[in-house]
Structure formats: structure tokens, C-alpha cells
Amino acid sequence: MPREPVAGVQEPGSGVLEDATIAALGEHALIARIRRQLPPAPDWLIVDVGDDAAVYEPVRNRLEVITTDAVVDGVHVDRRFVPFEAIGHRAVAVNLSDLAAMGATPRLLTLSLALPDDLSVSEFDRLVDGAVALAQRAGARLVGGNITRSRGPLMVDVTAVGSVHRRRILRRSGARAGDYIFVSGLLGDARAGLALLSDPAGVDAERWPDVVARYLLPEPRLRLGQLLGRSRAATSALDLSDGLADGLARLTTDHGLGCEIDASALPISEGARAVWHSRGADAVAEAVAGGDDYELAFTVRPKEARRLNAVARAVDGLRLTRIGVVTRTPGCWLVDAERHRTPIGHGYEHFRR
Amino acid sequence: MPREPVAGVQEPGSGVLEDATIAALGEHALIARIRRQLPPAPDWLIVDVGDDAAVYEPVRNRLEVITTDAVVDGVHVDRRFVPFEAIGHRAVAVNLSDLAAMGATPRLLTLSLALPDDLSVSEFDRLVDGAVALAQRAGARLVGGNITRSRGPLMVDVTAVGSVHRRRILRRSGARAGDYIFVSGLLGDARAGLALLSDPAGVDAERWPDVVARYLLPEPRLRLGQLLGRSRAATSALDLSDGLADGLARLTTDHGLGCEIDASALPISEGARAVWHSRGADAVAEAVAGGDDYELAFTVRPKEARRLNAVARAVDGLRLTRIGVVTRTPGCWLVDAERHRTPIGHGYEHFRR
């Protein structure tokens, strides 16, 4: 359940008036309002609301994972500069990324489309192409869906189901003080690519095609998730759909822990550094804040580092970077080369160096 | 997958230009365009795209059913006259109705919300209340979801998963010439209730509260679906989300068959008759055309009628009405008391007496 940062977010139970608008509350508080309506989890529900996906047990010792996520034009993408193939790709990718973050193997998808009347058939076809191509490559079958007209924006809602063995589930909880923190791939490229594409001048997008592609075509880290679950190398994991700052909070401060992140260790591409430099922005701050990377962040007990080496060899080509450590003291800090410490907030609205 | 009738629907492959808008094509043609992109169904996919829901086999001899359906403000409901509890109820009901039409027992739901910023917290709470209350009553657990802002209408997208035994699946295919056609409950009340609520004068809604309630709070026929599957009384079944005319086409003409429907047998409430009479409309035509009833239509071999008696006793209170017969000759006909025959089209845009 990715969040959108909302100014003036209020925590649940803090006395918000019922006639306030939802915009004043934010997604976390709304989810909390739903959760308090739910009965206790039944026996067959292994992982409840609040992780990357839910895990349930349709048959003893056989687990299924389910997640749902939407891509909305004007909120998550902008069809003025995002090709329709990339919109379809993204709608599937963000859901497969949630399965990856649970260590699951994708099985099937449903696709629910709300389509504005002015959408052309070729735009529709390209959207479907992008969705089906990624699904097939990931071994997930589209089994059903729904199409409705939208009198508002284009919306693509996907639900994904996958399988996982009980002892191989990657949860968000499980990190302990002293665990190393790792991330896959590169951080902040997606945010830099979005900045390039959404720039009205728009000329720079052609200078950094790799950075732009990292925004347009996120790659769910399915093999990494499965290997981390299978090897039991990781104590916790999630996908960085909402950025590193948010992800660190979910893995540490949500569980009364903290973290120290080595600013110089963050895997930032040369391209992203150049983009931010050209705009007078701080590449590290952008990499910490930026969402949409869909990389995995995970924690590893130092004595299990050897298991991680085997994983690293098996995901050939995907970079795994140790960026910091889990601490006993709550709160996350970015530590630079001079050992200056800057607090890391819960999202880019709150994180500014 | 409910359809929306679109003027000038073109069948897939009929030479539509790629730069036509999707509004000119209609949902069936769009679904056909998706289906032709898909690889052959894998072994574990027991029922593919095109039925009320998909059925898959996560473990040998254990089947799961999945369906997804959306409720969009301004398309499926209108929040100016539909209370928020009823919007939440409907979003869950339409999905549970698809599970009912497969003979499945509900297990879990995911909820994906696109919310306009002006929605109040109490409206949000009432929407969730309506969804969760029906889910709990039906034994389905909400296990996850997604919340995003909408810069357009309120959208509620639900995916439902249930279980069914392999030999108890109710499919849309399976009817044979000579089978009796049955429907549950009443036909056309939902359409009459919508007509009352959406009337600008609006005074008549208070005269017929039962008719209005049938539109606002559709009841998924889960127990009937399960009993029909368990007893193997039915040769085919579906839910009437898109109206009787559409449902009959799905059960008969889609498979090269036809049907004759006895106009005098259609179960139309006194309330609905009075509503249509007050408006100078034909109650039978409205009952045949009207969607949103979420009753089940099913076919029964005459010699299995005894099995159906046992089902009828077990669904205490729910009326089951024999309305006609499946014929060998393609095309569906409405037959009145004077044996006049009127062709039944594929939806209310095409059906006018």
C-alpha cells in the first residue's frame, strides 16, 4: 500500500473531526480507520493488512500471496509524457514488485481498467501490450478483469496473486539491531527520470535515456525476492515504491528500532548525479527521498552475510549494496563522510537536507 | 465482466481503425483485443477469461476462484442519491455475486479506492462500513488494498477470491436444448428503484421503499450458487448484473442455442409493476432489459427438476421461478399469453418492445 505524502497528516485517533476531508488525513490514517473495523485475523490469514501483500493458506502448508495496486493518470503517471506501453508495464510492475518483496513467485493477475472515452484503440492496445508483455516475462497469467468507462482520468488497477512457502516469506518486521541494511540496484534514478520527463523544456530527457528508462520501465526484483526468501538470508524486506526514507521507517522505526545510513555508500548512478547537478539539487537527498525505484531494501544478520554472497552471485548483474545498519535507538540518520548526522524523515515531504 | 452498451458496437476483427476511440468499440470488443494477446491457458487455469470469474488450481484438486469488478461514481452509481454505505455494499456485492454465479464460497477481498479530495472522513467511513459489513456477513475477509487520490470520480475496485470443488463449478456454458431456464428472486426491481431515485422530482422514492432498497442493497445469492453447484442441479449459471436479456444471450446464443421466455412467468414485484405503470412504461420490457438485480439465472435439465426442489427448500424464502426453455434454434424470444413472439436483444440499448 504505497502512501502519498499529504500536508498536515494526522495520526489515527488524534481527534480528527468526522467532517474533515480525507485529503487532510492521508492514506495511513485512512487505512487505520479501515483496520479498526476488521475482525481478528482468521487462522488461514498468515500475513494481514500492513505488509507489501497479504499471505493466506488456502490449503494446509500451501500459501498464496495477494496484492492490489493502482496506477492513475495525473497521480502516478502522466500520459502526456509516459507512453501507454509504460503505463501498462508500470501497473503490472508495481504489483509484481509487492510479490517480490514477499519472496513470492507470481501466478496470476486481474486487470481493472477505467477508460476515458477519448482513449484511442491503439492507445488501449499499447497499454495492454505493456501489461501483458511484463506479465508473461514474469510468468504471471492474466485471468480476468473489468473494463468501465471513466468520466475522469485513466485508471489501471491490478491485483496479483503468487505463491510462497511458509518459511520463505519475507516480512517487513524481523530486523534486529546490528543487522546490515542492503538495497538492490540504484536509488533515485526513477525520480531523476521523472524530473527530466516532466520538465516543460524537455530537452534533457534525450541526454540521459538510461535514467528516463529507469522511471518508465521499473523492473520488479522477483528473482532477488525469491532467492532472499529461499536462502533465508534476509530478516526483513520491502520494496521501495515510496522511496528509501519511507522504506527505512517501515523496516526500523515502525518496530521501535532505528538506523544509520552511510551517505557515501548509496548507489547513485552517474546519470542521476549529472541530472541533479545540472539542476543544482543534492543527489543524495534526492536518492533518499525519491520513490518509484521499485528496488528491494532488506536487512541481513552480519553472521549470515555468507548466505547473501550466494544470492548475489545468483542474481547475476543486479547490484546489492550495503548502505547502513539497524540501531537499537529509534530514529534514522544519514551519516556523511565527515560523520555529520542528518535525520531522515518518513517521506520526501518531511526530508529536506 | 459487466458490459456497458455502447452505440455502434463493432465486433472484434471487423476492421475498426486503430485511431478510433474505445467508446466506438465497446467492452466486449476491447476484451477480445486483450484475449488475443494471451498465451494458451496453463494447466492450472480451469476457467479462463470470459466467465463470471476465473478458476485456478493452486494445489491439485483444490480450486480457487477470483474476480474483480469496479463501482464508479457517475457510471455505476451516483453519490448524489446513493448513500455511501450503499456504494461500499455494492462494490462488495457485485464481486460476491460473481463468486455466487460460480458456486464458490467467498474467502477474501481486496479493496482499491480512488478518492476525490472533497470526500469527507465520515463519507469514507460509511463507504468502508458498507463494504466490511457485507463482507463479514458473507464470510469474506478484507486482506489488503490500496488508496489513491482521484482527480476525477470516486472509484471502488474490489477483487474477491473464493473456493470451489472441481465438480461443483457453475459455468456459463453447459446448457442444452430442452433445459428449463430459472431465475432467482425478482427481476427489474433494481431498475425501477434506480428510476425512482434518479427522478429529479424524487417524491416517489418514498412510496416504494422496497423497490428502492432492491437497487441500493443488492444481495449476492451465495447460498443458492453453492447449493446449485453442490447438488449438480444446474447445467449452467450466471448472475444478472447486466440484465436478463444479456444473461440469456450468455447462456444460450453464445453457444449456438436459443431460448423462449414466457412473459407471464417473469417474477416482477407488485411494486415494480406500479412504478412502471405510473410512468407509462411496460413492466415486462423493463424487467427483461434491466440490470443491477444480481439475481442468478441458471438452466436445469427437466429430469433433474427433483434436485432443484431440494435446493429450493434449502434457500428458504428465496423465490426460484421457471421462466422458459433452451431451444436448439439460435435466438431468444419473449412469448406472451397470446403466443406473440418478440425477439430479445443483447441488452437494453437493443431491446425495445
Contact A157 B53 (CB under 8 A): no
Q: Best of A4, A25, A34, A80 to disrupt the B interface by mutation (most B CBs within 10 Å)?
A: A34
Contact B122 A19 (CB under 8 A): yes
Clarify whether residues B14 and B76 are in a common domain: no
- Mean pLDDT within B226-234: 94
Contact B121 A25 (CB under 8 A): yes
Determine, yes or no, domain membership for A299: yes
Determine, yes or no, domain membership for A350: no
Contact B30 A62 (CB under 8 A): no
Clarify whether residues A188 and A220 are in a common domain: yes
Clarify whether residues B12 and B151 are in a common domain: no
Partner-chain residue, chosen from B39, B68, B143, that has the shortest CB–CB distance to A144: B68
SS (H, E, C) chain B: CCCCCCCCCCCCCCCCCCCCEHHHCCHHHHHHHHHCCCCCCCCCEEECECECCEEEEEECCEEEEEEEEEEEECCCECCCCCCHHHHHHHHHHHHHHHHHHHCCEEEEEEEEEEEECCCEHHHHHHHHHHHHHHHHHCCCEEEEEEEEEECCCCEEEEEEEEEECHHHCCCCCCCCCCCEEEEECCCCHHHHHHHHHHCCCCHHHHCCHHHHHHHHCCCCCHHHHHHHHHHCCEEEEEECCCCHHHHHHHHCHHHCCEEEEEHHHCCCCHHHHHHHHHCCCCHHHHHHHCCCCCCEEEEECHHHHHHHHHHHHHCCCCCEEEEEEEECCCEEEEECCCCCEEECCCCCCCCCC
Clarify whether residues B93 and B213 are in a common domain: no
Clarify whether residues B115 and B187 are in a common domain: no
Q: Best of B158, B159, B166 to disrupt the A interface by mutation (most A CBs within 10 Å)?
A: B159
Is residue B191 scored above 60 in pLDDT?
A: yes
What's the structural domain count of chain B? 3
Tell me whether strands A331-335 and A258-262 are parallel, antiparallel or unpaired: parallel
Is residue B155 scored above 80 in pLDDT?
A: yes
Q: Which residue of B has its CA nearest to A164?
A: B58
Determine, yes or no, domain membership for A183: yes
Shortest alpha-carbon distance between residue A302 and chain B (Å): 33
Helix ranges restricted to H, A138-282: 189-198, 209-216, 222-231, 244-251, 270-278
Determine, yes or no, domain membership for B270: yes
Contact B108 A31 (CB under 8 A): no
Clarify whether residues B12 and B51 are in a common domain: no
Q: How many percent of chain B have pLDDT more than 70?
A: 92
pLDDT for A5? 35
Beta bridge partners of B164: B63
pLDDT for A18? 64
Domain endpoint, select from A109, A135, A167: A167
Contact A23 B110 (CB under 8 A): no
Partner-chain residue, chosen from A70, A120, A132, that has the shortest CB–CB distance to B38: A132
Reported as a pLDDT band with limits 50, 70 and 90, residue B264 is very high
Determine, yes or no, domain membership for A66: yes
Give the integer Cα–Cα distance in Å for A229 and A114.
35
pTM of the predicted model, to two decimals? 0.86
Q: Which residue of A has its CA nearest to B113?
A: A70
- Mean pLDDT within B273-280: 93
Dihedral sign for Cα A171, A173, A174, A177, please. positive
Contact A150 B67 (CB under 8 A): no
The distance of Cα A130 from the centroid of its chain, to the nearest Å, equals 19
Shortest alpha-carbon distance between residue B276 and chain A (Å): 28
Summarised one tens digit per residue, pLDDT across range B26-84 is 777 777 777 777 778 888 888 887 777 888 888 777 777 888 877 888 888 888 889 99
Give the integer Cα–Cα distance in Å for B106 and B231.
18
Tell me whether strands A296-300 and A331-335 are parallel, antiparallel or unpaired: unpaired
- What ipTM was assigned to the predicted interfaces of this complex? 0.84
Clarify whether residues A338 and A263 are in a common domain: yes
Clarify whether residues A10 and A109 are in a common domain: no
Contact A148 B118 (CB under 8 A): no
Structural domain harbouring A91: 43-167
Q: Which residue of A has its CA nearest to B160?
A: A159
Reported as a pLDDT band with limits 50, 70 and 90, residue B91 is very high
Determine, yes or no, domain membership for B184: yes
Contact A66 B21 (CB under 8 A): no
Contact B148 A114 (CB under 8 A): no
Give the integer Cα–Cα distance in Å for B38 and A142.
8
Clarify whether residues B222 and B179 are in a common domain: yes
Beta bridge partners of B181: B299, B324
Ranges of chain A with pLDDT below 50: 1-16, 347-353
Shortest alpha-carbon distance between residue B152 and chain A (Å): 4
Clarify whether residues B126 and B268 are in a common domain: no
Length reported for chain A: 353
Beta bridge partners of A65: A55, A162
Q: Which residue of B has its CA nearest to A152?
A: B152
pLDDT for A202? 66
Top-confidence range, A152-161, B112-121, B198-207, B219-228: B219-228
Domain endpoint, select from A137, A167, A197: A167
Domain endpoint, select from A167, A199, A230: A167
Residue B215 sits in a domain whose CATH number is: 3.90.650.10
Clarify whether residues A177 and A325 are in a common domain: yes
- Mean pLDDT within B194-206: 83
pLDDT for A77? 83
Contact B144 A54 (CB under 8 A): yes
Contact B120 A21 (CB under 8 A): yes
End-to-end CA distance of chain A: 27
Partner-chain residue, chosen from A54, A59, A161, that has the shortest CB–CB distance to B66: A161
Give the integer Cα–Cα distance in Å for B206 and A16.
35
Shortest alpha-carbon distance between residue A147 and chain B (Å): 6
Clarify whether residues A54 and A188 are in a common domain: no
pLDDT for B28? 72
Partner-chain residue, chosen from A22, A37, A53, that has the shortest CB–CB distance to B144: A53
Determine, yes or no, domain membership for B349: no
Q: How many percent of chain B have pLDDT more than 90?
A: 56
Give the integer Cα–Cα distance in Å for A196 and A212.
7
Summarised one tens digit per residue, pLDDT across range B158-169 is 999 998 887 888
Is residue B303 scored above 80 in pLDDT?
A: yes
Contact B142 A34 (CB under 8 A): yes
**Edge-to-edge strand ranges of the sheet holding A258-262:** A234-239, A296-300, A180-184, A320-327, A258-262, A331-335, A341-344
Determine, yes or no, domain membership for B353: no
Residue A48 sits in a domain whose CATH number is: 3.30.1330.10
Q: What is the DSSP letter of A10?
A: -
Chain A CB contacts of B39 below 8 Å: 136, 141
